[in-house]
Amino acid sequence: MNDSAPERRRLAGLLAQNGVLTSPWLRAAVETVPRELFLRPGVFLDEGGAWLPVTAVGTDPAAWLKTAYSYDTLTTQLDGHLTADQVSDPVRGVPTSSSTNPATVVGMIETLEVDAGHRVLEVGTGTGYSAALMCHYLGEDNVTTVEVDPEVAARADTALETAGFSTWTVTGDGLLGHPRRAPYDRVIATCAVRRIPHTWIRQTTPGGIILATVGSWGYGTGLAKVTVGDDGTAEGRITGRSSFMQARSQAVVPVSGDLSARTAHADSERAAKVPPTVLDEWMPAFIAQLAAPGAHLVRAARSDGTKLRYVFDPERESFAAFTLDGDSDGDGDGDGWSVRQGGPVALWDDIERALTAWHAAGRPDITAVRFHITARSHTYWIEGNPSLRWQHRLA
Ligand SMILES: C[S@@+](CC[C@H](N)C(=O)[O-])C[C@H]1O[C@@H](n2cnc3c(N)ncnc32)[C@H](O)[C@@H]1O
């Protein structure tokens, strides 16, 4: 096998140059842990709509190392089962496990503020590469990593062993944490969650930090950094945009079936004050999820190409359906969209109110979002504006 030390040093140098990698201990880890060990049997490269399988065995060693040390996320599993060694031609599918791009992995570990002696719980082992970086500094006994997919967990465990780390790779639902090894000083999730599970707070020592991507849309999600209090509560803020595959047990089932039938009976219809297309932007999408937690956004088009948009909340049996009449009313507000709403919750009234207040507040960035978590509720707010406050009660 080719020695990958030059690629590791090059990757560390690039990460440092880009300002992502700052801690000497983490630089040493990136320079030492061979990423290629964690990509076996292979990866799928995005070829504009199809996934090209590239395997470790059968690929020119230099080309394989070039792939392994790319700055990109490398997809390692599609549709919950397919690996690159099982196919030879490009395939279609949905990524369900990957080695996250090195800048995100390293940036998150830096944000986690890890110190020698800390005990870390990682949720979403994936390939095991990020766990290995932490093991290199903290020692294998101080890292516990939970992966929901047994085959992914087994491959990661083998890779970690090969790299010299007999760490705690647990197969299970990471949303439950791993109580047997608690308490932890740090919890890091490399899959997105709808909200921080209270079990993680219970398994973290007071003063400990939890880092996870929150939100359930494919974009419009934020990296939450939470400090645990000594009374079972936690305080946090969103440190920036972040995008990860959804935790499997919380993955949103796409709203399917005949959308016009599902929205046939509306309780109200009016001109939209805010066009639903603003939800194509990151922060409005994040705000919409705060105002209507559990809502899904669906984009569709009629056969003649007319744009359609829907917001569904299956749990609260409510919907908002939008049509673009084409003739803008000229006031530049809702841009000619009308909204029909049905069910007990007027979803667009709630989202529109939040978006209007956010606009009036000068469109603050996602990093302005703060939150407080108790066993019973999650409260989010943006400082200095009482209309930008949302409380999500649990049960
Ligand atoms: C983006 S990958 C992890 C990347 C990994 N840290 C790395 O860099 O190699 C996300 C992983 O989370 C796993 N996952 C999804 N839902 C999970 C859950 N509820 N508990 C634990 N793992 C989960 C997926 O199976 C997938 O392997």
Domain CATH for 271: 3.30.160
Q: What does the pLDDT read at residue 314?
A: 87
Q: Which atom of ligand 1 is nearest to the CA of 38?
A: 9
Q: Does residue 284 sit within a domain?
A: yes
Same domain, 228 and 268: no
Q: What does the pLDDT read at residue 303?
A: 82
C-alpha 374 to ligand 1 mean position (Å): 25
Of 241, 276, 311, the domain-final residue: 241
Q: What is the pLDDT of residues 207-247, one digit of tens each?
A: 999 999 999 888 899 999 999 999 999 999 999 999 898 89
Same domain, 291 and 190: no
Q: What does the pLDDT read at residue 264?
A: 84
Q: Does residue 93 sit within a domain?
A: yes
Q: What is the pLDDT of residues 21-37, one digit of tens each?
A: 999 999 999 999 999 99
Does ligand 1 lie within 6 Å of residue 247's CB atom? yes
Same domain, 269 and 176: no
Does ligand 1 lie within 6 Å of residue 127's CB atom? yes
H helix runs in the chain, sequence order: 5-17, 24-32, 61-68, 102-111, 129-138, 150-162, 198-202, 259-262, 282-291, 347-360
Q: Does residue 384 sit within a domain?
A: no
Q: What is the pLDDT of residues 36-90, one digit of tens each?
A: 999 999 999 999 889 999 999 988 999 999 999 999 999 999 999 999 999 999 9
Same domain, 291 and 336: yes
Q: What does the pLDDT read at residue 37?
A: 97
Sheet of strand 74-78, all strands in order from the earlier edge strand to the far edge = 51-55, 42-46, 74-78, 95-99
Same domain, 173 and 226: yes
Same domain, 337 and 228: no
Find the helix or strand (DSSP H, E) in which 75 lies: strand 74-78
Same domain, 231 and 277: no
Q: Amino acid letter at 304?
A: D
Does ligand 1 lie within 6 Å of residue 147's CB atom? yes
- Sign of the dihedral through C-alpha 116, 210, 81, 98: negative
Q: Does residue 236 sit within a domain?
A: yes
Q: What is the pLDDT of residues 325-337, one digit of tens each?
A: 765 555 556 678 9
Enter the tokens of residue 218.
């494919």
Same domain, 162 and 274: no
What is the C-alpha to C-alpha distance for residues 150 and 248, in angstroms, rounded to an integer? 13
Does ligand 1 lie within 6 Å of residue 109's CB atom? no
For residue 120, give its domain range: 5-241
Enter the DSSP assignment of 305: -
Same domain, 275 and 225: no
Residue 95 pLDDT > 90: yes
pLDDT band, very low/low/confident/very high, at 299 (cuts 50, 70, 90) = confident
In the predicted model, what is the mean pLDDT of residues 338-357? 96
Enter the tokens of residue 222.
């934020």
Q: What is the CA radius of gyration of the chain?
A: 22
Enter the tokens of residue 280.
């194509």
Q: What does the pLDDT read at residue 219?
A: 87
CATH no. for residue 139?
A: 3.40.50.150
Same domain, 282 and 160: no
Alpha-carbon dihedral 394, 203, 166, 117, rounded to 10 degrees? 140
Same domain, 224 and 142: yes
98 carries an active-site annotation:
yes
Q: Amino acid letter at 309?
A: R
Q: Supply the DSSP string of 363-384, one letter for each residue.
A: ---GGGEEEEE-SSEEEEEETT
132 with 164: CB under 8 angstroms? no
Number of domains in the chain: 2
Enter the tokens of residue 347.
């979803």
Pocket test for ligand 1, best of 38, 94, 147, 158 (most atoms within 8 A of CB): 147
Q: Does residue 378 sit within a domain?
A: no
Enter the tokens of residue 183.
């308490």
Same domain, 235 and 306: no
Q: Does residue 388 sit within a domain?
A: no
β-bridge partners, 147: 171
Of 209, 241, 273, the domain-final residue: 241
Q: Amino acid letter at 233?
A: T
In the block, tokens 């300002």 appear at: 19
368 with 355: CB under 8 angstroms? no
Q: Does residue 367 sit within a domain?
A: no
Sort residue 54 into left (φ over 0), alpha (ψ -120 to 50) or beta: beta
Q: What does the pLDDT read at residue 257?
A: 66
What is the C-alpha to C-alpha distance for residues 86 and 159, in angstroms, rounded to an integer? 19
Q: Does residue 375 sit within a domain?
A: no
Q: Whose CA is nearest to atom 13 of ligand 1?
A: 124
